[in-house]
Amino acid sequence: MVIPLEILILLALLSFGASLVNGGLGYGYSSLSTPLALLALVNRIINPVYVGVEACVNTAILGFSGKENIKATFRRSLPVVIFLVPGILVGSFVLATLSSTWLKLVVYAAILPLVLLQAAGLRRPIRSEQKAAAPLGVGIGLLYSVTTISGPPIALFWNNQGLEKQQFRAAIAQVRIAESYLTAISYYFLGLFTVTSLQIFSWIAPPVLIGIPLGMFVVKKVGTETFRRVCMSFDAWIVGFGLAVVIGNLFGLLDFGYSVWAIDIGIDAWLLYRFFTGRRLPFQPQQKVSVRPPSPEVPLEGT
């Protein structure tokens, strides 16, 4: 299969933008690039490419996290990593057998609520991480191997656990590096890597070398929360549009699909408004005005 040049250029630009977001947040490459890429290509073609790119990206992110942060989060990440395996095996088989149109519907329908939950800033710590590791790992493995997207649920989980910024990036990187390499191995044995995959990879991999360090620089200038919120807003609009198109193509209900997209935009616009209007200005202590005590009266001479 020969990919048209204009699509390759579009994928390269998309890869640059997605890697910029990934560099700033530590995740987000697939959740931004996959929904748009699926408008031009099917999952069986694009998934192996993004898995290969993310294996490299996640390795770099893990390296930037620092050894002390990796050690601090390794035992907490390990149970999730172990339970990735069954989910990845099932998801890879589904990818190889299920219709591409239905897969697109699964991608958009599964990702949209997760993106909106992140945009809402959900914070509910899970007391027992060990018990949550099994369903979380299996679910993430299944979702990633079918869609190549797992950043939103992983970020929701670790955000709720109150990790520091660098520990948060290290914990996400450990889970994502495991899922990307394990999924790549599964795809290889299912014969999903092709010459077309290598052709696309050669176009979308180089922009990552610029996007990731640039994203790390940008997030320092605008702030992590503001950067994350704007990226999630853009992601919600993309995923909502993709869902509208798939609903129209699959069921012939294009008007209904665009109604769903309009609702998505409305919800995200409200969340975006609440985020920016609800931010408090930094506290500035008032300057104390020192009042000098009145000087004692000096008696006049002769009194």
Task: Give the pLDDT score at 208.
Answer: 92
* Residue 220, CA atoms < 13 Å, CB-side half-sphere: 7
pTM confidence score: 0.79
* Tokens 């006049």 belong to residue: 300
* Tokens 């969340």 belong to residue: 271
- Please write the tens of the pLDDT for every residue from 242-295: 889 889 888 888 899 999 999 999 999 998 888 888 765 444 444 444 445 555
Domain ranges, ordered by start, for the chain: 5-205
- Please write the tens of the pLDDT for every residue from 198-221: 999 999 999 999 998 898 888 888
- Please write the tens of the pLDDT for every residue from 1-12: 678 899 999 999
Picking from 129, 45, 137, 130, the residue whose alpha carbon sits closest to that of residue 90 is: 137
CA angle 128, 132, 135 (to 5 degrees): 170
